Amino acid sequence: MDFTKVVLASLLIASPIAAQEGHGVSPADLERGMQIFLNNCAGCHGPDGDLISGVALYSGRFRRAQGDNELRRIVQNGIAGTPMPPGNYTDEQAGMIVAYLRSMAATGGGKLTGPPGNAESGKAIVEGRGQCLECHRIGRQGTITGPDLTGIGRMRRAVDLEKSLVDPDAEIRPDNLTVRAVAADGTPITGRLLNMDTYSIQILDARSASLRTLKKDELRDYEVMKKSPMPSYRGKLSEQEISDVVSYLVSLKEQM
């Protein structure tokens, strides 16, 4: 489905969607559903699903869908007589989109907790005392030891960005896992996980910002960290400053 021309105006808030009929939705399914939604739907609906007047996809309430199966059919078949066209999604892909829409309702309805932000002020914080570019890249500035933020406004909702700033351990994304290892000679190694198979681990080394392949049988020990390397800015930045940073990050829409 090409959501760049989609308007879900007929999915007006009316009644809560029934409990999810499918079970076993994994974090990977939600991640994939989020990427499909942001790549194909957010152009019209916005990353928070509320860009179209009268439609709040983050609410989990839809007039024409009383359950997940009905919502999946709308995603795939569209709605006759409306700008919502039929899509080209498999049942699995449509289910991932629906699962992501439901997950949006569980994250504060897409609303920020702080005051309205100022993107210019946020940019100054990111490039200055926030020290964000010591790990992240935006355009041609910064480093690559952390995820690239160049197009983060296309990929993440404002509420999720806010949570990452104040509670980074709450949700550790697959592209921000850290590996800590010890070489056979006792040398510590730290880097962002890029890939891991039976015999090796590929990381982006935190010190050299270079790609490294570690052979498992040549390591004394290794561990995929359960906590994010991202520091919390709660107490380090004021509520206004956090809102400013989020506003700036949301504005970053360029392709990476």
CATH code of the domain in which 187 resides? 2.30.30
Domain termination site, one of 65, 82, 107: 107
Residue 94 pLDDT exceeds 50: yes
Residue 108 pLDDT exceeds 80: no
Q: Can you give the pLDDT at residue 16?
A: 37
Q: CA 172, CA 147: separation in Å to the nearest integer?
A: 12
Q: How confident is the model at residue 87 (pLDDT cuts 50, 70, 90)?
A: confident
> Does residue 90 sit in the same domain as residue 187?
no
> Does residue 214 sit in the same domain as residue 246?
no
> Does residue 166 sit in the same domain as residue 242?
yes
Q: Can you give the pLDDT at residue 242?
A: 96
Query: Cα Rg for the chain, rounded, in angstroms?
Result: 20
> What's the distance, Cα to Cα, between the start and end of the chain in Å?
23
Q: What is the pLDDT of residues 179-218, one digit of tens each?
A: 999 999 999 999 999 999 999 999 999 888 889 999 999 9
> Does residue 24 sit in the same domain as residue 126?
no
| Tokens read off for 174 | 């697959």
Full domain range(s) for residue 145: 119-172+230-250
> Does residue 123 sit in the same domain as residue 59?
no
Q: How confident is the model at residue 255 (pLDDT cuts 50, 70, 90)?
A: low
Angle between helices 119-127 and 239-250 (to 10 degrees): 100
> Does residue 56 sit in the same domain as residue 103?
yes
Residue 8 pLDDT exceeds 60: no
For all residues of the chain together, what is the average pLDDT? Answer: 82
Residue 17 contacts by C-beta under 8 Å, 6 or more apart in sequence? 60, 61, 62, 65, 66, 67, 68, 71, 102
Specify the range with the lowest mean pLDDT, choosing from 2-16, 18-32, 182-196.
Answer: 2-16
Summarize the confidence of residues 43-72 as an average pLDDT: 77
Burial 38-50 (b: 16+ CB within 10 A, else e): bebbbbbbbbbbb
Residue 19 pLDDT exceeds 60: no
> Does residue 46 sit in the same domain as residue 99?
yes
Summarize the confidence of residues 228-242 as an average pLDDT: 94
Residue 256 maps to a domain: no
Residue 127 maps to a domain: yes
> Does residue 131 sit in the same domain as residue 100?
no
Instruction: Please give the share of the chain, as a percent, with pLDDT higher than 70.
Output: 88
Q: CA 142, CA 149: separation in Å to the nearest integer?
A: 10
Q: How confident is the model at residue 111 (pLDDT cuts 50, 70, 90)?
A: low
Residue written as tokens 């994250």? Answer: 107
Residue 95 maps to a domain: yes
Residue 255 maps to a domain: no
Q: Is the distance from CB of 255 to CB of 152 less than 8 angstroms?
A: no
Instruction: Please give the share of the chain, as a percent, with pLDDT higher than 90.
Output: 39
Summarize the confidence of residues 166-171 as an average pLDDT: 88
Q: How confident is the model at residue 1 (pLDDT cuts 50, 70, 90)?
A: very low
Residue 112 maps to a domain: no
* pLDDT top residue among 173 and 181: 181
> Does residue 44 sit in the same domain as residue 95?
yes
> Does residue 18 sit in the same domain as residue 99?
yes
Q: How confident is the model at residue 243 (pLDDT cuts 50, 70, 90)?
A: very high
Q: Can you give the pLDDT at residue 220?
A: 95
Q: Can you give the pLDDT at residue 189?
A: 94
Q: CA 248, CA 71: separation in Å to the nearest integer?
A: 33
Q: Is the distance from CB of 207 to CB of 222 less than 8 angstroms?
A: no
Domain termination site, one of 107, 130, 156: 107
Residue 64 pLDDT exceeds 80: no
Q: How many domains does the chain have?
A: 3
Q: CA 231, CA 153: separation in Å to the nearest integer?
A: 20
